[in-house]
């Protein structure tokens, strides 16, 4: 193919393709990669269908591709036989002298395989296709991480309350008086000071 695009991002949504697949009740579990590769196959199929239909459009000297061009393309290509039932109701192109070779048998939904018609005998699939959604889940890997949450709580001991600092210590009296005149604690008792004064008197006498 001339336009080969290797983007991993699928053009058609895989989830949608999986849902379309599983409208057929016989379809069970589907591997995760299957809708992605069917999306790629669908791209190639559409590219082929559109290019061949375009050849029909051009051969008819038309400017717009119509459903009739698609129908003729589908009828001419054996690869697209499975689409004949789908386009059976599409009108043929105007002024077309060719006979309509559409197969009138509408029993099987899908066309026969090219070169082989033994599939029906070998397959055990019933033709009753309901449009109900299948409830089966895809076998996808569950990547949920198992995290072990261990609640190890460390409560450090609070530092012990600071003990009362040592009591009043002797120091020479300072003439400087601090600005904080209102005292938070009661003033010292005058007893010891009086005792000091008496000592001085003893020295004098």
Partner 1 sequence: MASSSGNDDDLTIPRAAINKMIKETLPNVRVANDARELVVNCCTEFIHLISSEANEICNKSEKKTISPEHVIQALESLGFGSYISEVKEVLQECKTVALKRRKASSRLENLGIPEEELLRQQQELFAKARQQQAELAQQEWLQMQQAAQQAQLAAASASASTQAGSSQDEEDDDDI
Site residues (CB under 8 A) for partner 1, limited to 172-191: 173-175, 177-178, 180, 183-185, 187-188, 190
- Taking the complex as a whole, how short is the minimal distance between the CB of residue 49 and partner 1, in angstroms? 6
CA distance 134 to 50: 32
Which two three-digit tokens encode residue 196?
A: 């000091």
Among 126, 142, 171, 202, binds partner 1 (CB under 8 A): 171
- Taking the complex as a whole, how short is the minimal distance between the CB of residue 138 and partner 1, in angstroms? 8
Angle, vertex CA 48, rays to CA 114 and CA 42, nearest 5:
85
Query: Site size for partner 1, by CB under 8 A?
Result: 108
- Taking the complex as a whole, how short is the minimal distance between the CB of residue 100 and partner 1, in angstroms? 17
- Taking the complex as a whole, how short is the minimal distance between the CB of residue 41 and partner 1, in angstroms? 5
CA distance 114 to 74: 14
Region 60-89 residues binding partner 1, contact defined as CB under 8 A: 63-67, 69-70, 78-79, 82-83, 85-87
Which string of DSSP letters, residue by residue, matches 133-176?
PP-PPP-----------------PPPPPPPPPPP--------S-
> Is the CB of residue 23 less than 8 Å from the CB of residue 133?
yes
Closest CB to partner 1 among 94 and 174?
174
Closest CB to partner 1 among 19 and 103?
19
- Taking the complex as a whole, how short is the minimal distance between the CB of residue 44 and partner 1, in angstroms? 5
CA distance 47 to 27: 27
How far, rounded to the nearest angstrom, does the alpha carbon of residue 142 sit from its chain's CA centroid? 13
CB-side neighbour CA atoms (13 Å) of 56? 21
Under rule CB under 8 A, residue 132 binds partner 1: no
Q: What is the 3-state secondary structure (H, E, C) of 180-194?
A: CCCCCCCCCCCHHHH
Region 35-64 residues binding partner 1, contact defined as CB under 8 A: 36-38, 40-47, 49-51, 54, 57, 63-64
Region 151-170 residues binding partner 1, contact defined as CB under 8 A: 151-156, 158-159, 162, 164-165, 168
CA distance 74 to 61: 19
Closest CB to partner 1 among 17 and 75?
17
- Taking the complex as a whole, how short is the minimal distance between the CB of residue 134 and partner 1, in angstroms? 11
């Amino acid at each position: 193919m001339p336009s080969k695009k290797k983007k991993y991002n699928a053009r058609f949504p895989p989830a949608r393709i999986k849902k379309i697949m599983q409208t057929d009740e016989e379809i069970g579990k589907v591997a995760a990669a299957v809708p992605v590769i069917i999306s790629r196959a669908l791209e190639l199929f559409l590219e082929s269908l559109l290019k061949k239909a375009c050849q029909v459009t051009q051969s008819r000297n038309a400017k717009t591709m119509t459903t009739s061009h698609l129908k003729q393309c589908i009828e001419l290509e054996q690869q697209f036989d499975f689409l004949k039932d789908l386009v059976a109701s599409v009108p043929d192109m105007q002024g077309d002298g060719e006979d309509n070779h559409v197969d009138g048998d509408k029993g099987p939904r899908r066309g026969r395989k090219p070169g082989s018609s033994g599939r029906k005998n070998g397959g055990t699939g019933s033709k009753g296709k309901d449009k109900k959604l299948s409830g089966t889940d895809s076998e996808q890997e569950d990547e949920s991480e198992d995290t072990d949450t261990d609640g190890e709580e460390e409560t450090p001991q609070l530092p012990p309350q600071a003990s009362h600092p040592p009591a009043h210590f002797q120091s020479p009296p300072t003439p400087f008086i601090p600005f904080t005149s209102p005292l938070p604690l009661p003033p010292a008792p005058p007893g010891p000071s009086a005792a000091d004064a008496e000592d001085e008197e003893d020295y004098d006498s």
